[in-house]
Amino acid sequence: MPRLLTILLNYRTAEMTLQAAEAALRAMEGIAGELAIVDNDSRDGSFERLRDAAAARGWTDGNRVRVIQSGRNGGFGAGNNVAIRAGLSDGTAPDYVYILNSDAFPAPDAIRLLLEALEADPKIGFAGSYIHGTDGQPHVTAFRFPSILSELEGAARLGPLTRLLGDHTVPLGIPEATRRVDWLAGASLMMRRAVLDEIGLFDETFFLYFEETDLCQRAARAGWSTLYVRESRVAHVGSASTGMKKWDRIPGFWLDSRWHYFAKTHGRAYAAAATLGHLTGGALWRLRRLVQGKPAIDPPHFLRDLLAHDLRALVRRTPRGGIAPAARPLGETP
């Protein structure tokens, strides 16, 4: 029987993380595996609250649930890497790793359906769920890989251009059936451990955003597919930890992640061209806003911030860091 490690990453949302853990444990019934809750250095009492609540509810009996302190907040990928490296409680590696957002609640069969999809096809590296809001509204979580043309199309928001570049738009809408996609959002994503052993773990240069895109890109280049499993349903609040819905200006870590993705995947010249594409599309959108009186959608000063950031990134040396290696076997030292 395949063994599964489910990971919940908490950052200052202890009560919601406990609710997600309850849903995950229900969905893991009948599956050989464990749940690891990682507190990403919240420093607000979250770790103690999670540890004590897990023990009080009997979750830690038999190591079914472990609460781990990351020791530092290195971002989404780094926090998940802590649990992936730790492996199962007996020191061995699981066959599959399932990452679940702390504000996401899988249906009782959601995890099993992802596991069955991966077991059924050895060429599938990653499988993710259909995500919907707690109000039932579907969330767009299936995507194509970003490109220069997708940057132009996405920023322009112009119907004729979208129709012309339809094969390059990043969002795939809401697929009506299970299908292969380029990449999936990491709110509910199961990964074959053999793939991580081959391509490495999350790239910890990404603090937040684009880390799933990069991981799926590396898997695709190694010959592994990513599958959107329509029948696997997960309710998701969204932005509970990041505060994205309340941004009044684009944060630097988003700009850092976007540049790093393009530069790492295609080179710095391509990254610069992608930014030029976005600036061109953004200029077209702002002209349309001026003529048609359209409301503002981007955060204030977005194009200015993007241009200033990427000009600095283009001239500075590439930062050290990158792909985190797979977890070492028990007892192996660096």
Q: Is the pLDDT of residue 328 over 70?
A: no
Q: What is the DSSP string of 135-154?
A: TS-B---EEPPP-HHHHHHH
Pairing of strands 96-101, 3-10: parallel
Encoded tokens for 83: 């649990």
The predicted-structure confidence for 78-113, as pLDDT tens digits, reads as follows 999 999 999 999 999 999 999 999 999 999 999 999
Give 235 or 247, the one with higher predicted confidence. 235
| 304 contacts: CB under 8 Å, gap ≥ 6 | none
Whether the Cβ atoms of residue 185 and residue 128 lie closer than 8 Å to each other: yes
The predicted-structure confidence for 211-224, as pLDDT tens digits, reads as follows 999 999 999 999 99
Encoded tokens for 73: 């907040």
The predicted-structure confidence for 47-64, as pLDDT tens digits, reads as follows 999 999 999 999 999 989
